[in-house]
């Protein structure tokens, strides 16, 4: 698959490895030119790969994975349907771009280091990742509580001096 995350195309059949430029759903979609001007490879979770594998697909490299009813690119869902769904859900002040913050924050709260988050999200610098990845107050409390729940063996004064208590 290649293209903008909102306009995915099936580029045909190719290597099954998830570590090289993809030509199949089991690989890694490629954005040939990201907003930074470079190619970007975006791995898919096993769950997303399974969903996409169940979709009918053509070997034609121009075939869109999510076309409209006429087989054309349609960003209607991003421009109209997504905001309507957010409104219907009663969520205030939430845009599609905000999902990048959620993505980075959830990875950080799962213990993923900032460097892989940077690569997965396509950020150029770690400082940008830090602007996107926020730990919830609950995760901050859990992190600090690790200090008191950690079992520390401190010798008693008699043991430290080599005497039996």
pLDDT digits (tens, 9 = 90+) for 2-51: 334 445 555 543 333 222 233 444 467 777 777 777 777 788 888 887 88
Least confident of 6-15, 69-78, 85-94, 151-160: 6-15
Whether residue 135 contacts residue 143, with contact meaning beta carbons closer than 8 Å, is answered with yes
pLDDT score at 17: 27
pLDDT score at 82: 87
pLDDT score at 54: 80
Whether residue 164 contacts residue 158, with contact meaning beta carbons closer than 8 Å, is answered with yes
Q: What is the 3-state secondary structure (H, E, C) of the chain?
A: CECCCCCCECCCCCCCCCCCECCCCCCECEECCCCCCCCEECCCCHHHHHHHHHCCCCCCCCCECCCCCCCCCCCHHHHHHHHHHHHHCCCCCCCCCHHHHHHHHHHHHCCCCHHHHHHHHCCCCHHHHHHHCCCCHHHHHHHHHHHHHCCCCCCCHHHHCCCCC
pLDDT digits (tens, 9 = 90+) for 80-136: 888 999 999 999 999 888 988 999 999 999 989 999 999 898 888 999 998 888 878
Residues in CB range of 10: below 8 A, 6 or more apart: 1, 25, 57, 58, 59, 60, 61, 63, 64, 65
User: Cα–Cα distance between 116 and 118 in angstroms, integer?
Assistant: 5
């Amino acid at each position: 698959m290649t293209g903008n995350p909102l306009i995915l195309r099936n580029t045909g059949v190719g290597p099954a490895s998830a570590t090289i430029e993809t030509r199949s759903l089991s690989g890694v979609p490629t954005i040939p030119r990201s907003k930074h001007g470079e190619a970007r490879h975006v791995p898919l979770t096993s769950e997303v790969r399974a969903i996409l594998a169940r979709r009918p697909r053509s070997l034609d490299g121009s075939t869109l994975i999510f076309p409209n009813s006429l087989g054309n690119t349609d960003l209607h869902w991003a421009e109209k349907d997504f905001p309507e769904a957010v409104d219907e859900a009663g969520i205030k002040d939430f845009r599609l771009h905000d999902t990048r913050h959620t993505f980075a924050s959830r990875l950080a709260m799962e213990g993923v280091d900032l460097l892989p988050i940077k690569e997965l999200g396509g950020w150029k610098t770690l400082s940008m990742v830090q602007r996107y990845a926020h730990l919830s107050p609950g995760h901050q409390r859990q992190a600090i509580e690790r200090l008191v729940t950690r079992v520390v063996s401190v010798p008693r004064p008699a043991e430290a001096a080599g005497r039996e208590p």
